[in-house]
Amino acid sequence: MSRKVLSVLLATAMTASILAGCGGAAAPAADTAAPAAEEAATEEAAPAEEEAPAEEAAPAAAAGTKVGVAMPTKDLQRWNQDGSNMQSQLEEAGYEVDLQYASNDVQTQVSQIENMINGGCNVLVIASIDGESLGTVLETAKAANIPVIAYDRLIMQTDAVSYYATFDNYMVGTKQGQYIIDTLDLDNAEGPFTMEITAGDPGDNNAKFFYNGAMDLLKPYIDEGKIEVKSGQVDFEKVATASWATETAQSRMENILSTNYADGTNLDICLCSNDSTALGVENALAANYTGEYPIITGQDCDVANVKNMIDGKQSMSIFKDTRTLAAQVVKMVGQILSGEEVEVNDTETYDNGKGVVPSYLCEPVFADINNYKELLIDSGYYTEDDLK
């Protein structure tokens, strides 16, 4: 059977495996860029199903085809899921996979990518630790004619990136912002409501997309006085959380609470960009806050955060089904290796400083107490026992 026929079958099988639909809408351009959100570190449970169910197994790829997959760390739940999903779906499609985790150390990731290049990988899929630190090693990949797919974090300042696959990161923020608007009925409520903001890692290209998506909706309410940020910390640089660290978010929120809310003032809204930062905020509230419990947003549906959602300690979390993104990347790998046109749905938004990178954006959804069972349990992402 020809490789072209195999590629078509692969694309069909991978498309059938996607549980959460990928959206075709392009994210509005953000003023500045920053990499992808991460989740709270947790060893409590792993997802019940690490890959999307397919009606039939994908056919084997051409013998000797090797794909290098570079992930940032094994310390955070989401990257373990991403790596596992990617490996299982690529191997099911017949590829040899070199999966590496870099312990959040840039030089380790550079060395791992060098080894992938020297080890005969035909395509590289890279979730970068620092989006601006891979230019030199990727020049080596480019010289060797090895295509690079940036996975969920845009790799910056290099023309060696062929494609970018991610979720619509600006939409993540707009969904968080709209949830707050709808829950508090901000268009009709008198207010004012108090809010504190906890954003993501300034070295992560996606963090500012999340922040901008939410703030583009919420800033008008801040400007008119309906939302008050008592700490005065609004700008991204002031609310960013290095490495998305739970402990850093907790420490900062403890300081905010002791300075601005110790007199009994209620905190109404905690806009948190992802679940690891939300977990830090929740820990700080548990130790240092006695007022009415605020709305708390998150992202990634980490086990610990979903448990908090069930217990009323977190209001919502953006669900980005990693099986969906993995399936799309496997499809793109097949299209690259067969010489077909690679499917993208955004050719305007993601400029990495050397040019706009053709991108495929999957659409995120949000989970809350009303729909988490349908999204997370009925889909096989978690079991009931995982969330106990």
Whole-number pLDDT of residue 292: 95
What is the torsion angle, in degrees rounded to the nearest 10, for the CA atoms of residue 36, residue 39, residue 43 and residue 49?
A: -70
48 versus 88: the higher-pLDDT residue is 88
pLDDT digits over 65-78, tens only?
999 999 999 988 88
Question: Would you say 151 and 362 are in contact if contact means Cβ atoms under 8 Å apart?
Answer: no
Quick one: pLDDT band at residue 64, thresholds 50, 70, 90? low
pLDDT digits over 243-276, tens only?
899 999 999 999 999 999 999 999 999 999 999 9
Whole-number pLDDT of residue 131: 86
Round to whole Å and give the CA distance between 128 and 150: 8
Give mean pLDDT, residues 334-344.
95
Residue 376 has pLDDT above 90, yes or no: yes
Helix (H) or strand (E) holding 366: strand 365-368
Give mean pLDDT, residues 351-355.
96
pLDDT digits over 102-113, tens only?
999 999 999 999
Average pLDDT, the chain: 87
Long-range contacts of 213-216 (CB under 8 A, 24+ apart): 213/27, 213/30, 213/169, 213/170, 213/171, 213/172, 213/173, 213/174, 213/175, 213/176, 213/177, 214/173, 214/174, 214/176, 214/177, 214/180, 214/271, 214/273, 214/297, 215/173, 215/177, 216/173, 216/174, 216/177
Which of 30-44, 228-242, 270-284 has the weakest average pLDDT? 30-44
35 versus 385: the higher-pLDDT residue is 385
Give mean pLDDT, residues 188-212.
95
Phi and psi at residue 42, to the nearest 5°: -155, 135
Give mean pLDDT, residues 28-34.
38
Q: What is the pTM of this model?
A: 0.77
323 versus 159: the higher-pLDDT residue is 159
Whole-number pLDDT of residue 322: 86
Question: Would you say 197 and 210 are in contact if contact means Cβ atoms under 8 Å apart?
Answer: no
Whole-number pLDDT of residue 188: 97
337 versus 21: the higher-pLDDT residue is 337
Round to whole Å and give the CA distance between 163 and 202: 22
Q: How far apart are the first and last CA of the chain?
A: 48
56 versus 221: the higher-pLDDT residue is 221
Whole-number pLDDT of residue 45: 41
Residue 6 has pLDDT above 70, yes or no: no
Give mean pLDDT, residues 272-298.
97
Sorted by where each starts, the structural domains of the chain and their CATH numbers stand as: 3-168+321-363 (3.40.50.2300), 169-319 (3.40.50.2300)
Residue 302 has pLDDT above 50, yes or no: yes
**CA torsion through residues 110, 115, 118, 122, sign:** negative
For 136, how many CA atoms within 13 A lie in the half-sphere containing its CB?
Answer: 7
SS3 (DSSP) at 142: helix
Which of 128-132, 138-142, 175-179 has the weakest average pLDDT? 128-132
Residue 8 has pLDDT above 90, yes or no: no
Give mean pLDDT, residues 279-292.
96
Whole-number pLDDT of residue 78: 83
- The amino acid occupying position 5 is V
**Helix and strand totals (H; E) in the chain:** 12, 12
Q: What share of the chain is helix, strand, coil (3-state, %, to 5)?
A: 40, 15, 45
Two tokens, residue 105: 């150390």
The share of the chain scoring above pLDDT 70, in percent, equals 84
Residue 43 has pLDDT above 50, yes or no: no
Round to whole Å and give the CA distance between 38 and 256: 23
Which of 50-59, 112-121, 249-258, 305-314 has the weakest average pLDDT? 50-59
Quick one: pLDDT band at residue 203, thresholds 50, 70, 90? confident
Question: Would you say 298 and 316 are in contact if contact means Cβ atoms under 8 Å apart?
Answer: yes
Residue 48 has pLDDT above 90, yes or no: no
